[in-house]
């Protein structure tokens, strides 16, 4: 593990030096002019956006999305320099789901694979070797007489070679989480909040362009909350990237605007993917 971390840190340092030689210094979101224009406040606290304004007192349950500056100084110290850029609070969705996908592959282990399984189960190397030799002889015989002749022989005998199929575990899959919100501007401050929230999701999910180089977009923390605190009876969501922001205006079948020329309704779709795989330890210790 120590050797792996050292290699990772060395590669990261080489990458930073290369960018500097090319005049491509990664830009920090918090220090960028665009961030100051859209989200800078007079205080040192991150920007906080909430819809509706009385969400916490009226709805009681809500989802908190926190945009986090992406910076990993080393593989061992993951996310040690977290900087919260903005917090967005939205009503709890009508449906909430997650998934735990595992990747398997069906393989043909063949006679050698079967023999290995026999050795593992019986501990008899001699017996497993005998089966392996017999199986290989049959397979070599098939090749010698040709595939067609071998198939005819199988049809005549009413039997064929056991392919000894096995299931091979290849890894786990990244969890994804989607959220759908219908935001309606019932009053002027709602319209402003909706516009700012949509802008924030678009902004923090997008990269900077430095010459022909992209900087990685910011990442997200997602927490299911009540007015009393986290909803610990649900699962938790790990650090995530925002892969897609879908915005649909005029969701009532027509373009409807308020007196302030703001869209009356906005459908907001967010698609996140976690950046770390889920293990048994994460489920036991982090409630993933």
- Domain definitions of the chain by residue range: 20-101+174-286, 102-171
More confident residue, 23 or 263: 263
- Give the pLDDT of residue 162: 77
DSSP string for 57-90: HHHSEEEEEEEE----S-SSSTTTT--EEEEEEE
Banded pLDDT at 208 (limits 50, 70, 90): confident
Closest CA to 241 of 272, 270, 268, 271: 272
Residue 287 has pLDDT above 90, yes or no: yes
Ranked by mean pLDDT, the top range of 18-32, 66-80, 87-101, 250-264 is 87-101
- Give the pLDDT of residue 42: 47
Ranked by mean pLDDT, the top range of 57-61, 87-91, 161-165, 189-193 is 87-91
pTM: 0.72
Out of 1-5, 80-84, 251-255, 277-281, which region has the weakest mean confidence (pLDDT)?
A: 1-5
Banded pLDDT at 12 (limits 50, 70, 90): low
Q: Is 261 left (phi over 0), alpha (psi -120 to 50) or beta?
A: left
Q: Is 110 left (phi over 0), alpha (psi -120 to 50) or beta?
A: left
Task: Give yes or no for a contact between 63 and 40, defined as CB atoms under 8 angstroms apart.
Answer: no
- Give the pLDDT of residue 263: 85
């Amino acid at each position: 593990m120590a050797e792996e971390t050292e290699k990772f840190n060395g590669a990261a340092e080489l990458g930073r030096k290369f960018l500097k030689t090319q005049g491509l210094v990664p830009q920090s979101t918090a220090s960028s002019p665009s961030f100051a224009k859209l989200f800078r406040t007079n205080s040192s606290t991150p920007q906080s956006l909430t819809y509706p304004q009385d969400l916490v007192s009226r709805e009681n349950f809500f989802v908190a999305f926190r945009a986090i500056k992406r910076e990993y100084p080393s593989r061992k110290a993951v996310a040690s320099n977290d900087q919260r850029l903005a917090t967005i609070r939205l009503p709890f969705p009508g449906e909430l789901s997650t998934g735990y996908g595992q990747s398997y592959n069906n393989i043909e282990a063949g006679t050698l694979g079967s023999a290995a399984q026999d050795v593992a189960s019986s501990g008899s190397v001699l017996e497993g070797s005998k089966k392996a030799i017999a199986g290989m002889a049959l397979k070599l015989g098939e090749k010698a007489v040709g595939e067609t002749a071998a198939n005819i022989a199988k049809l005549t005998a009413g039997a064929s070679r056991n392919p000894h199929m096995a299931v091979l575990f290849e890894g786990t899959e990244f969890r994804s989480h989607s959220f759908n919100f219908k935001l309606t501007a019932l009053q002027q401050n709602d319209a402003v909040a909706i516009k700012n929230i949509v802008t924030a999701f678009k902004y923090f999910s997008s990269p900077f362009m430095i010459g022909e180089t992209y900087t990685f977009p910011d990442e997200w923390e997602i927490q299911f909350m009540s007015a009393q605190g986290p909803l610990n009876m649900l699962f938790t969501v790990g650090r995530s990237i925002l892969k897609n922001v879908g915005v649909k205006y005029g969701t009532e079948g027509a373009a409807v605007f308020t007196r302030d020329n703001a869209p009356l309704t906005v459908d907001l779709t967010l698609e996140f993917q976690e950046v770390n795989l889920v293990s048994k330890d994460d489920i036991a210790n982090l409630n993933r």
